[in-house]
């Protein structure tokens, strides 16, 4: 079996057919370009390149290993696929400066941790395997999860556990982390899981899923600055869309989905002051919501692909350029 096929076997893209369907009207434009802002192992991109013979895809990922594996998988598409080492909030710079394009017809964002990162035990993303506490999507830069656990003060630990993990027992966990690291640095996922089991009441562990789920999510988000990056990436992604272009975003927890919902809603409503008898053209919505609320995976997909269980998919279409007054420019 070749490595590209092995890569495909390791990853089942979430809501793949629906993503292709939602992006299709934008990708049928001659010479269409799509940015896959979260390339991962290339499953969504492969489907797009296969379905639309004239489309070119720019694949962004901060994980060099993912870029390498996806590039091998997609090698048969030649120059229709371009890999770029970048975080998705750099999309504007990549499209306009690095590639010299004025705009693109589609943007796809499949947020959160990738199957590759979860499968590579030594990356430290999974609470199911004992490994160094790393969790960096780009393992060449930035703080690790161990750095966070061993250097943040108790109040900051409580904050990230509550905000990013929605962890009920954040105070107790943070207190126990501080006590444990005073004896020896917390270095491995197994150590953290043991600490979490001791911190979360047994009755809660019986019904609340794995005790590491929320804390590992919170640490991953903090280590990779995921919410800050997403908050910057959403307006950047909308701004690179040509009129008629579409953006599809798959989010996997409420914090991500809230940011997506807010960004799309802001573009889909009038910015005109209340009470005006006629809505000025410059205040009309610049986005149209393509999905009604957030769509979920089918029951069949949730059963066959565990990663799809929490997905929330939203899509929007570019109607017109963003009004200048909303971009901080004078009208």
Binding site for S-adenosyl-L-methionine: which residues? 42-44, 61, 88, 110, 117
CB of 137 closer than 8 Å to CB of 219: no
At 258, list the tokens.
């809230």
- Angle (CA) 254 290 62, round 5°: 55
Q: Tell which residue, 33, 36, 54, has the closest CA to residue 45.
A: 36
How many CB atoms within 10 Å of residue 321?
Answer: 14
Q: What DSSP string runs through 65-89?
A: HHHHHHHHHTGGGGGGEEEEE--GG
SS3 249: strand
H helices present in 54-188, as ranges? 64-73, 91-92, 115-119, 145-151, 154-165, 170-183
* Pairing assessment for the beta strands 56-61 and 33-36 based on DSSP bridges: parallel
Question: Phi, psi (5° rounding) for residue 132?
Answer: -60, 145
Residues in the chain: 331
Q: Which residues are annotated as a binding site?
A: 42-44, 61, 88, 110, 117
How many CB atoms within 10 Å of residue 3?
Answer: 11
The Cα 38–Cα 234 span in angstroms is 13
Q: Work out whether the CA dihedral 211, 217, 223, 228 comes out positive or negative.
A: negative
b vs e for 33-70, b when ≥16 Cβ sit within 10 Å of the residue's Cβ? bbbbbbbbbbbbbbbbbeebeebbbbbbbbbebbbebb
Cβ contacts of 74-79, under 8 Å, gap ≥ 24: 74/4, 74/42, 74/45, 74/46, 74/49, 75/4, 77/49
């Amino acid at each position: 079996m070749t490595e590209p096929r092995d890569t495909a076997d390791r990853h089942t893209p979430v809501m793949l057919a629906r993503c292709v369907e939602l992006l299709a009207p934008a990708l049928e434009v001659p010479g269409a370009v799509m940015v896959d802002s979260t390339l991962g192992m290339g499953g969504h991109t492969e489907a797009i390149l296969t379905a639309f013979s004239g489309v070119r895809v720019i694949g962004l990922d901060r994980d060099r290993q993912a870029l390498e594996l996806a590039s091998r998988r997609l090698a048969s598409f030649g120059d229709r696929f371009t890999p770029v080492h970048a975080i998705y909030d750099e999309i504007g710079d990549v499209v306009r400066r690095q590639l010299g394009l004025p705009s693109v017809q589609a943007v796809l964002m499949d947020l959160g941790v990738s199957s590759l990162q979860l499968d590579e035990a030594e990356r430290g993303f999974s609470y199911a395997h004992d490994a160094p506490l790393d969790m960096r999507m780009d393992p060449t830069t930035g703080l690790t999860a161990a750095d966070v656990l061993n250097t943040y003060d108790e109040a900051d630990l409580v904050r990230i556990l509550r905000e990013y993990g929605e962890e009920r027992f954040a105070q107790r966990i943070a207190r126990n982390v501080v006590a444990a690291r005073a004896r020896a640095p917390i270095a491995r996922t197994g150590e953290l899981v043991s600490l979490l089991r001791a911190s979360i009441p047994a009755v809660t562990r019986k019904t609340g899923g794995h005790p590491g789920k929320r804390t590992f999510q919170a640490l991953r988000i903090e280590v990779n600055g995921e919410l800050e990056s997403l908050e910057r990436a959403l307006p950047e992604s909308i701004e690179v869309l040509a009129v008629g272009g579409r953006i599809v975003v798959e989010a996997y927890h409420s914090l991500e989905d809230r940011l997506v919902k807010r960004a799309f809603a802001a573009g889909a409503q009038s910015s005109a002051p209340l009470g005006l008898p006629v809505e000025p053209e410059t205040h009309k919505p610049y986005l149209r919501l393509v999905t009604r609320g957030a769509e979920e995976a089918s029951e069949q997909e949730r059963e066959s692909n565990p990663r799809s269980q929490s997905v929330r998919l939203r899509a929007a279409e570019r109607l017109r350029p963003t009004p200048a007054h909303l971009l901080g420019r004078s009208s």
